[in-house]
Each structure stands twice: as structure tokens, then as C-alpha cells.
Amino acid sequence: LTTLGEAPYRARQVWQWLWQKRARGAEEMTNVSKALRQRLEEAAVIAAPEVAQRLESKDGTVKFVLELAGGAGVETVLIPEKDHYTQCLSTQAGCAMACTFCRTGQMGLTRNLGHAEILGQILVARDYLASIRSPLNLRNLVFMGMGEPLMNYNNLLRALESLQHP
């Protein structure tokens, strides 16, 4: 936002709209000026990954097959626990490790996920939990979905830094 000529506090405002208020477009950010909302619409894409398929198990586990830019697909899984949810996150579309016991490893690597694509999986899960009015919160994140997380170290690190940022 500073590259758009805005004060640093504007980044906190936008972050709150995306993560706390679940805004999916700049037009929803009512405490941000109309001029800035227009610049955001022109300069950025605010979108969670597209849910191509949702599979629900009897125990409440939910697997989302997500379609990313360029047609790449990944899975993220939401697992109910006694008092919270845990989410398994993907960092790659496919995997280059080729572990014999793993179906994803047999697919080969399509590409690494970007910082926003990793974080977008969390937005999908949070939107789903809000839609079912779950009394349980998403509390644990596990980077063990599709791909080997450390093979996408830079984007994984950026995602972890973003998640921990005050």
C-alpha cells in the first residue's frame, strides 16, 4: 500500500478486512476511501481459491479440491477435533519427491504455490466454517497437504510470517 502512496496504517486496515472481517472485495472495505478502494481493485486481486469439489466424511472431515490460476489443483483438508479444527495445507501442486507410498508423489510436481495461494486455503476453510456456523474455531495449521513444504521454502516462510504478523 505504501507503493500506492498510502500510509502504512492502511495495510493494517486492509489486513483486518481480509482476515478478520472476511472481505472478498475492496468495495466491502467501508472505512477505506473510495479512491483507495478503486486503486485496490485496479492493482490487486482479492480472491480465495475456487472450490472445485468438497467431500465430507462421516466424522466431519472436509476435503476441498481447489482450482488455482492456470488450472493447477490442490487439496486442503479440514479436520474436526474435540474443541477446534485442524487444517492440512498444501504448498505445492503435486510433489516431486515420488515417495512410493504417496499418491501425490506419483503425480509429479506441477508447480510451487505462491504465498497468497497458501494463505488462500485458510480463507476457504474459514469461509466454510462461517457458512455452517461452526462453534469450533480453526486453531491448528499443518503443512502436510500436497507437496513437500520445505521444497517451497520461501513461500512457506512468507506465509508463516504473514500468519504470525500482529
So what's the pLDDT on residue 155? 97
Q: Which ranges in the chain belong to alpha helices (H)? A: 9-19, 34-43, 103-107, 115-131, 153-164
- Cα gap 137→131, rounded to integer Å: 13
Amino acid at 65: V
pLDDT digits (tens, 9 = 90+) for 116-153: 999 999 999 999 999 999 999 999 999 987 889 999 99
Q: Is the dihedral of CA 92, 16, 124, 143 positive or negative?
A: positive
b/e burial code for range 120-149 (CB count within 10 A of at least 16 → b): bbbbbbbebbeeeebeeebeebebebbbbb
More confident residue, 125 or 104: 125
So what's the pLDDT on residue 139? 95
Residue 96 confidence class, pLDDT cut points 50, 70, 90: confident
More confident residue, 154 or 102: 154
- Cα gap 56→77, rounded to integer Å: 10
In this prediction, residues 98-110 reach a mean pLDDT of 77
More confident residue, 103 or 52: 52
- Answer for the pair 38, 44: CB distance below 8 angstroms, yes or no: no
Q: Strand, helix or coil at 161?
A: helix
So what's the pLDDT on residue 84? 97
Q: Strand, helix or coil at 146?
A: coil
Residue 77, CA distances (Å) to 73, 82, 124, 133 in order: 14, 16, 10, 18
- Answer for the pair 95, 106: CB distance below 8 angstroms, yes or no: no
pLDDT digits (tens, 9 = 90+) for 33-90: 999 999 999 988 887 899 999 999 999 999 999 999 888 899 999 999 999 999 999 9
